[in-house]
Amino acid sequence: MDLTTFLIQALNGVQYGFLLFLVASGLTLIFGIMGIINLAHGAFYMLGAYITYWLIGYTGNLAIAIILGLIIMVVVGYAIERLAISFLYNRDHLHQVLLTYGMILILNELQKIFWGTDFYSVPVPDILKGGIELTETQSYPIYRLFISLVCMIVAAGLYLLISKTKLGMMIRAGATNREMTQALGIDVNQIFAIVFSLGAALAAFSGMVGSPVSSVFPGMGDSILIISFVVVVIGGIGSVKGAFVGAMIIGLADTFGTVLLPEFASVVVYAVMAMILLWRPQGLFGKA
């Protein structure tokens, strides 16, 4: 593998890692703060991609489609939290797993009813078409760099939101000690609803910006869900920093695994996870 190929693959790995991070950060926040194992998180990713495809048909503009789509997804996330998830806070994790599993079935089926089982592609916006030439034969698509950039901005925004704002303070407090936060007069239920819809929007956003590269297809949520869980567990549940590191590890392991060990590509990710968990059973940044 020469240096250029290495660079291209590294960039691909980082870009994939960023997309994973957006999905996984929502997942880890929802688990860490609300104590909910949300299997339907992958379905939000899928919905994001499909909504983008659908809105682009009307607006013809990716940016507008994404903004409108995000508004839809925040509303959807909020509604799901209020109508179903909020009944499960005092229940066993297994019930949450089961309920959100039922939700996957419903959302996947609705997707089939509305959009069928075909694969769709979303066009790359004109300004972001083309690539940066690295050598005479190899170039790197601008859109992929754009994805990394946008995700980096979102990640930075998320960091600022959580570490610098009042809302972020309440979120962190709720994650550390739910009862105490409630006792201080903070409406934890309202925070839960906000975190859940924020997480849904993050996952959907990942599906939206990723859609021009990955295409839009049924079942896309299922595969990202499992990988995101791997990321969350590697990083340590509830830790956004861990989700970031985990996403980068998995993004790079998957990309380089595909190049170096094509027959075992899909196994590599899970082998990495098993090794990390054996070394640190609570994940890299998890509390023991």
Q: Which residues bind another protein (CB under 8 A)?
A: 31, 37, 39, 84, 87-88, 90-95, 97-99, 101-106, 108-110, 112-113, 222, 226, 229-230, 233, 237, 263-264, 266-267, 270-271, 273-274, 277-278, 281-283
CB of 104 to another protein, least distance (A): 7
Looking at residue 132, the DSSP 8-state letter turns out to be E
Say if CB 132 and CB 140 are below 8 A apart.
yes
Please classify residue 28 by burial: count the beta carbons closer than 10 Å to its beta carbon, then call 0-12 exposed, 13-18 middle and 19+ buried.
buried
Structure tokens at 170: 């309440």
Nearest residue to 215 via CA among 123, 83, 280: 123
What's the closest the beta carbon of residue 278 comes to another protein, in angstroms?
Answer: 6
CB of 144 to another protein, least distance (A): 26
Query: Contact at 8 Å (CB) between 259 and 1?
Result: yes
Of 3 and 83, the one with the shorter C-beta distance to another protein is 83
- Give least dist CB 135 to another protein, A: 32
Nearer to another protein, 169 or 265 (CB): 265
Residue ranges of E strands in the chain: 131-133, 139-141
Choice between 229 and 244, CB closer to another protein: 229
Q: Which is nearer to another protein, 8 or 103 (CB)?
A: 103
**Contact at 8 Å (CB) between 151 and 17?**
no
